[in-house]
Amino acid sequence: MLPKKAPKIVFPDNHAIYVKALYKSILAEGSLFFDDRARTFIQNRTRYLFKEYKDCADLERVKSKIKEARRKLHKLEEANRGNFRKAYKILLDVYGRRGKVRHSLLYPYLNQFKPVDFKHPEPFIPHVPRTAPPPPLCPPLRVLITDHLGKRLSPILPEPKHKPLHVGRKANLLWRHHSNLLSRVSVPLPFEILCELETKAGALPNHPMSAASLGKGGPKWDQFYFAYQNNFDLAHLSPHLKSHVPQSKVVRSQTVAGIRSPYETVKMPNILEYLEEKESKKPELQKYESPYDNRQTRRLYRRLLNEIPCMDMFTWETLWKEGVNYTIFKSNWIPKGVRELIPETLSSEVIKETMKTNKRKK
């Protein structure tokens, strides 16, 4: 007997219209964001994802992706209307502090540029691959975990009283600790992008304390990320990017909010909806003024720099070289406390009196 063909999924009538409107709304909102590399990232990511699921026939999958796109659109709309928290989250996604960009920045540390004599550790039980411990990490990544993240490279294994720890459980504990470290570690940005962020945060190009003058802060693009020039997740961070998406100066009045979703919850019919006359309005263009001034954008970039670790220079050739002492530091343009800015002007007595809590009188 011939295998039965899967039933063809029939989408609602206005499915294509709604998806196109959602696609245009995301691109339009992304073009309003103040950061040039964020606009490029939003455009590249949106085009790739909509193209990837263009021929998807799984209805539940399509509905979940539409829901995810609506959530991202709402975040962009709130950020473009002056929500600092949403704008900061977008910057975290764009500059690789979380999400797909972070995984792409971390990938060369784990899977590329390994030496020829690199060997994976043998399993604790021969011929049982699942009992093998995790592979070793490169020296820069180990320093980032211990100095910047503040975690141990190996976990403290339990010691049972009456029997030794099973090697299978030991391997599972080692892999769980290894996965937790990789899910939390943050890697430096390319050196050129770090210098650009410091300039956006208010640093002068020739300032002696800037990363450009110090000559350190992270690996250079041409010496470490040269293979990711056309990667849609990292192309926006390339210093050789020819052109960015220009910032739009107008807002579209016709958005996806004016189109009824084919997957919304069915409501009880209301007689007022039939009595009201819906006038067809032509789409209008309204002038857009960014709610962020120069001072506010500098504050956002300085807050972002606080999440980015800096370290000594290295290349793909020296990534696995042992015996190199790497130094972890942060940019000099991050917000600092008063005690760090003027440590000599305040005495210990003044600090104690200031920090002392006022106790209520009984």
Reported as a pLDDT band with limits 50, 70 and 90, residue 269 is: low
Is residue 166 included in any domain, yes or no? no
- The domain of 246 spans 12-108+185-261+284-328
Is residue 176 included in any domain, yes or no? no
Reported as a pLDDT band with limits 50, 70 and 90, residue 35 is: very high
**Counted domains in the chain:** 1
Residue 237, judged by CB atoms within 10 A of its CB (0-12, 13-18, 19+), counts as buried
Q: What percent of the chain is modeled with pLDDT above 70?
A: 83
Is residue 288 included in any domain, yes or no? yes
Q: What is the pLDDT of residues 43-62, one digit of tens each?
A: 999 999 999 988 888 888 98
Q: State residue 338's pLDDT score.
A: 43
Is residue 311 included in any domain, yes or no? yes
Is residue 122 included in any domain, yes or no? no
Is residue 252 included in any domain, yes or no? yes
Q: Is 300 helix (H, G, I), strand (E, B) or coil?
A: helix
Q: State residue 355's pLDDT score.
A: 60
Is residue 196 included in any domain, yes or no? yes
Q: How far is CA 114 from the centre of its chain?
A: 25
Reported as a pLDDT band with limits 50, 70 and 90, residue 354 is: low
For CA atoms 85, 87, 91, 94, the dihedral sign is positive
Total H helices, total E strands in the chain:
14, 4
Q: What is the pLDDT of residues 85-133, one digit of tens each?
A: 999 999 999 999 999 999 999 999 999 899 999 999 999 999 999 999 9
Is residue 141 included in any domain, yes or no? no
From first CA to last CA, the distance across the chain in angstroms is 90
Residue 234, judged by CB atoms within 10 A of its CB (0-12, 13-18, 19+), counts as buried
From CA 169, how far away is CA 158, in angstroms rounded? 10
Max Cα–Cα distance, the chain, nearest Å: 90
Q: What percent of the chain is modeled with pLDDT above 90?
A: 60
